[in-house]
Amino acid sequence: MEGNYRIILTEEQIQKRVKELGEQITIDYKDNPPVIICMLKGAIYFFSDLTRNIKLPLEFDFARLSSYKNGTTGGEMELISNITTEIKDRDILIVEDIVDSGKTLSYFVKLLKEKKPKSIKICTFFDKKDRREADIEADYIGFTLPCGFIIGYGLDYAEKYREFPFLAEIIDPSK
């Protein structure tokens, strides 16, 4: 993969934006801190950095869903790991790495609504609005970029390259 990608966001650009999002969320939830749900695996870097920039007492939980297999959309939703926190009548903030088609997130929001939370908002690191197939929008967006296949900062290609501290676009996925 070395040399088969181009960096589109540096580590410094990412950290600056994550800090801004944390500050905004702190203001918006100052009177009622939310339960923050990290969507595994991709959002873990973003979630970690974001929650360190939210200056409120926070409660965390984690969920893992999948509709991707080796870089392609598999179509069928799979709930691999669900939250365990009681969320009835509580504000929820879902932290996601990328909102692409929106199908996975739409499915998860539907599951959460069955638990009757007070509110559900979404914070995504990366939004690909031009690929949206489900009727879902993020409330907090790190970046909207019209790019191809993205890796780094938690985003993977076939479970690789999550560890890059920057965001890059793969030039040729077949290499």
Catalytic residues: 100
Long-range CB pairs of 109-117 (<8 Å, 24+ gap) are 109/136, 111/79, 111/82, 112/37, 112/83, 112/87, 115/87, 115/88, 116/87, 116/88, 116/89, 117/87, 117/88, 117/89, 117/90, 117/91, 117/92
d(CA 47, CA 37): 9
Strand partners, 152: 155
What is the rounded distance in angstroms from the CA atom of residue 117 to the CA atom of residue 131? 28
